[in-house]
Amino acid sequence: MNKSGQNLMAGAGILTLAGIIAKVLSAVYRIPFQNLVGNTGFYVYQQVYPIYGIGVVLALSGWPVFISKIITEQPDEEHQQLVARRLFWWLLLISCGLFILVYGGAPILALGMGGNLKLLPVIKAVSWMFWFMPFLAVGRGFAQGQLNMMPTAVSQVIEQVARVAIIIAIAWYGVHADWSVYTIGTWAMAAAAFAAAAATLYIANIVKSIWHNPITKAVKKDKSIGWFRILHRLWNEGNLLAMLAGLLVLLQLVDSFSTKGLLQIYGLSTHAAEYAKGVYDRGQPLVQLGMVLATAISTSLLPVLRNHVVRSEQKMFVGDFQMMFRLSLILSGVATCGLMAVMPAVNQVLFSTREGSHALMIFVLTVIPATLILIGTSVLQSLNKTHGISWLIILTMLIKYALNIWLIPKHGIIGASWATMLSLLPMLYIVMHRLPKTLWQDWHSIHWWPKFMLTLLAVLIGAGGCCHIGGLLMGTSRLASLITLIIAVLVGIIVFIIMIWRLRLLSVAEWYALPKGYKVYNFLEGKNK
């Protein structure tokens, strides 16, 4: 592999590690937070969270990836700096507009989120983070465009660590100071701005470097990087990347504007609807955790796919895609079945009650289509075949809203869970259908599907059986559930490893692609020295 290829893979590794740390932090902190503030406090936070989530996706995923792409296209440093400067001013203008929209429109947003005007200060608090987006997006994107992934990785971890620490500290202090859940929610959302400021301080030198050198008149007159040409590309390419990265956040946004009111039609009082929405929102961190490993594998392999496209290595592209798809399908499938099997215990251990376990079992089914959509759209991006995907995302949001209206008044939060999972299926079908037919030729052996389904069934029975027996023998207290959960998870992992080994579900190359997979494979084959 040449030097640029090595840099690319090293960079992908750094971003993957940072992404895993950030995702785990983002999922795990909600557990002590919910334990401190309760389901109603969790509802207050989760109602406004999608606004924060959209900001993070823009500043971390969508815009920086687009900026890095447009930076790498430039012939020299002078062009790169001019493009970065113009993008900064456009993003500052957009961020200003988003701040005005959220801060000024807070009363309208609060009314839309179930008519709860107590959410007003919570919504206003989150709006301040938008001012830091131009600095973070341009700083990260400019560095990535020069194959320097470290600033993005470190700033991402700084932002998450700072935010999580502030939120937990606020929740702890607020509960002991007898604050209302809305005051705690306001300060918890304000943590987003403080965390963004910390990340901006780290990345400030890169942003400053964009203005180091004067730009010649000839470069300024280059029409390919004119002001409106850049804006057009930002709107079409940058926003598409952001929408793809934030698909689940956008579905959360639909829930914020519809679920509470629909739960009241279902027959719940205002307080009971808020409480039930808080229980339903427990599913978000569980889905994030379920997607971590499969997402990490796809993230690390995608730069390799892009290299194959550039070098016209069709056979290697097909082989790597098929391996990535199989691994992601297996890992997302086993993560889903494992979570479903141990859900009552997980719910008890993490959130102190077993309320809503049935709804959460359905909710985690989202892991499979969400993971496969992520992989499919990423491959389409590498092939420049993303035309019309933005409309597909909007269609998915509309389907989610329609399913909410149909299912929640009949089935409560179980209906909301089904609506989330089912809304992703049309998009999954269309994305998979748009991938080139050549990618699907001989992508699995003749008995692969029966072996895969048998493996999932074995994990479901093994882990679920342990969970059920543990509940009968030790009871359902939090401590007893923790012991049951640990045993069930270990049994599930052992059953999974034995099944994929005995059934030869993975090739040797696929074993080696998994983290520490070569050690497990050699041990099972008796080759361990």
Which residue is listed with tokens 């420049």? Answer: 384
- Give the CA distances from residue 142 to residues 84, 87, 251, 308, 507, in Å, rounded to whole numbers and listed in that order: 7, 10, 30, 24, 39
For the chain, the structural domain boundaries read 1-245
Residue type, 265: I
pLDDT at 1: 45
Residues of the chain with pLDDT under 50: 1-9, 529
Measured CA to CA, the distance from residue 527 to residue 529 in angstroms comes to 6
Whether 242 contacts 57, CB under 8 Å: yes
Residue type, 522: N
Give the N- to C-terminal CA distance of the chain in Å, as an integer: 29
Rounded-to-5 percentages of helix, strand, coil across the chain: 85, 0, 15
* Token representation of residue 410: 């009949």
Whether 80 contacts 67, CB under 8 Å: no
Measured CA to CA, the distance from residue 181 to residue 175 in angstroms comes to 8
What are 391-441's pLDDT values in tens digits?
899 999 999 999 999 999 999 999 999 999 999 999 999 999 998 888 888
Long-range contact set of residues 275-279: C-beta below 8 Å, sequence gap at least 24: 275/39, 275/40, 275/43, 276/39, 276/356, 276/412, 276/413, 277/43, 277/46, 277/47, 277/413, 278/34, 278/38, 278/39, 278/40, 278/41, 278/42, 278/43, 278/46, 279/39, 279/355, 279/356, 279/359, 279/413
* Token representation of residue 94: 């957009």
* Token representation of residue 213: 């050198």
Residue type, 220: K
Measured CA to CA, the distance from residue 7 to residue 225 in angstroms comes to 27
* Token representation of residue 396: 């998915």
pLDDT at 5: 45
Which residue is listed with tokens 């470097």? Answer: 209
Determine phi and psi for 503, rounding to 5 degrees.
-85, -5
Residue type, 312: S
pLDDT at 123: 92
pTM of the model: 0.81
Burial annotation 177-194 (CB, 10 A radius, 16+ → b, else e) = eebebbbbbbbbbbbbbb
pLDDT at 97: 92
